[in-house]
Amino acid sequence: MTTETQAAAAAGPAFPRFDGADVWVTLTNEEKAEIGAIAIELVVTRRLWQRVHEDGLSDIIQRAAGVALQLLPHLLDQAVSDVLPDGALEAEDGITPRVPSLLGGICRDCGCTQEDACPGGCGWAGEDQCTACAAENAPTPGRIEL
Ligand SMILES: [Zn+2]
Ligand SMILES: [Zn+2]
């Protein structure tokens, strides 16, 4: 997909977003330190796991790396869950789930994204609709034509 309209698409009205940066600025230095350290070690663990396979490292390091690969995401989940405000995962209605903002634009008609284009490729036809869906011309009731 094209990138120039990605920011505009991310602001689209179809999917309420969860912006991790909004939560991050409310954290204490201790909370930031804990989450940051786990996040960095998680990336390091994935690199280690990659090396285990690419370089054929020993069964001993593979065993330890395998456990780390299970543990680190769990630790990150726990540390983040501890600081998430109540109701942060849903929109104002308390029901509609929020979608991570880092995903970028999402087509309201098919759910395709920057990382998951439609078969044959697509771009952004509008704020929150991809060119493949726009070409099918399936209008949504009440939608404003761009
Ligand atoms: Zn689409
Ligand atoms: Zn698409």
Query: pLDDT band for position 108 (50/70/90)?
Result: very high
What's the predicted TM-score (pTM) here? 0.76
Q: Which ligand gives the minimal distance to the CA of 140?
A: 1
Percentage of residues in the chain with pLDDT exceeding 70?
85
- Give the Å distance between the CA of 112 and the centre of ligand 1: 6
Q: Which ligand gives the minimal distance to the CA of 136?
A: 1
Q: What is the mean pLDDT of residues 97-120?
A: 95
Q: Which ligand gives the minimal distance to the CA of 2?
A: 2
- Give the Å distance between the CA of 91 and the centre of ligand 1: 23
- Give the Å distance between the CA of 129 and the centre of ligand 1: 6
The 3-class SS string of the chain reads CCCCCHHHHHCCCCCCEECHHHHHCCCCHHHHHHHHHHHHHHHHHHHHHHHHHHCCCCHHHHHHHHHHHHHHHHHHHHHHHHHCCCCCCECCCCCCECEEHHHCCECCCCCCECCECCCCCCCEEECCEEHHHHHHCCCCCCCCCC
Q: Which residues surround ligand 2, an ion (CB under 5 A)?
A: 107, 112, 118, 122, 130, 132
- Give the Å distance between the CA of 96 and the centre of ligand 1: 20
pLDDT at 144: 57
pLDDT at 46: 97
Q: Which ligand gives the minimal distance to the CA of 121?
A: 2
Q: What is the mean pLDDT of the chain?
A: 89
Is the pLDDT confidence value at 72 over 70?
A: yes
Q: What is the pLDDT of residues 40-57, one digit of tens each?
A: 999 999 999 999 999 999
Is the pLDDT confidence value at 7 over 70?
A: no
Query: pLDDT band for position 105 (50/70/90)?
Result: very high
Is the pLDDT confidence value at 136 over 50?
A: yes
- Give the Å distance between the CA of 128 and the centre of ligand 1: 8
